[in-house]
Amino acid sequence: MATTLTPLNALKVSKHQIQAFQKIPNTSIQNKPLLIYHSAFPQASASQIEAHLTDVGVVSPQWRYTMYSDTHFHSNTHEVLAIASGSAKCCFGGEQNEGRVEPVLNRGDVVVVPAGVGHRLLEDYGSFQMVGSYPTGKNWDMCYGRAGEEKKVKTISKLGWFERDPVYGDDGPSLQV
């Protein structure tokens, strides 16, 4: 069964610039926003999402899981999180950061998380599972905003951005930022 995507002209997208907070750089280094594609995959299963992302060829699905409950970020890659089931309240930017974003993510949503953006699960409302993907050929690291990570954080400025949208291909929200 083919995956049905919400047409671009009907897709609602939220864009969030999140200020640096303590040792979490958030969007301050590359100034690429956190993007939420609301209901991009309205009826897709995890397998269908993985197949679609693989076909587009920008990112490679690497896991199915919930979101960690500890704030963390990645310094060596951007991340694409597609919600395959359930819903949850998540925090982006650090829970004490006045500029944080705390959306409720639902099945079908996609979050494009720029390198450096802290994120964590706040509350699972039931059966929350995501497909985690990274630009093809990239592996992710784990940073927690702790002393000793400064060298890793400096590498964020050297990362390229998406040349094609990870969900929509040659057109799409990640290309408009």
> What's the mean pLDDT in 94-98?
96
* Tokens 């500890």, located at residue: 70
Long-range CB contacts (within 8 A, 24+) of 169-174: 169/56, 169/58, 171/8, 172/8, 173/11, 173/13, 173/15, 173/35, 173/37, 173/112, 174/35, 174/112
Q: What is the pLDDT of residue 119?
A: 98
Average pLDDT along the chain: 96
For residue 92, name the pLDDT band (cuts at 50, 70, 90): very high
126-170 pLDDT, tens digit each: 999 999 999 999 999 999 999 999 999 999 999 999 999 999 999
> What's the mean pLDDT in 63-92?
97
Q: What is the pLDDT of residue 1?
A: 57
Neighbouring C-beta atoms of residue 69, cutoff 10 Å: 13
Q: Please name each of the domains of the chain with its CATH number.
A: 12-156 (2.60.120)
Alpha-carbon distance of 114 to 39, in angstroms, equals 20
What percent of the chain shows pLDDT beyond 70? Answer: 99
> What's the mean pLDDT in 37-48?
96
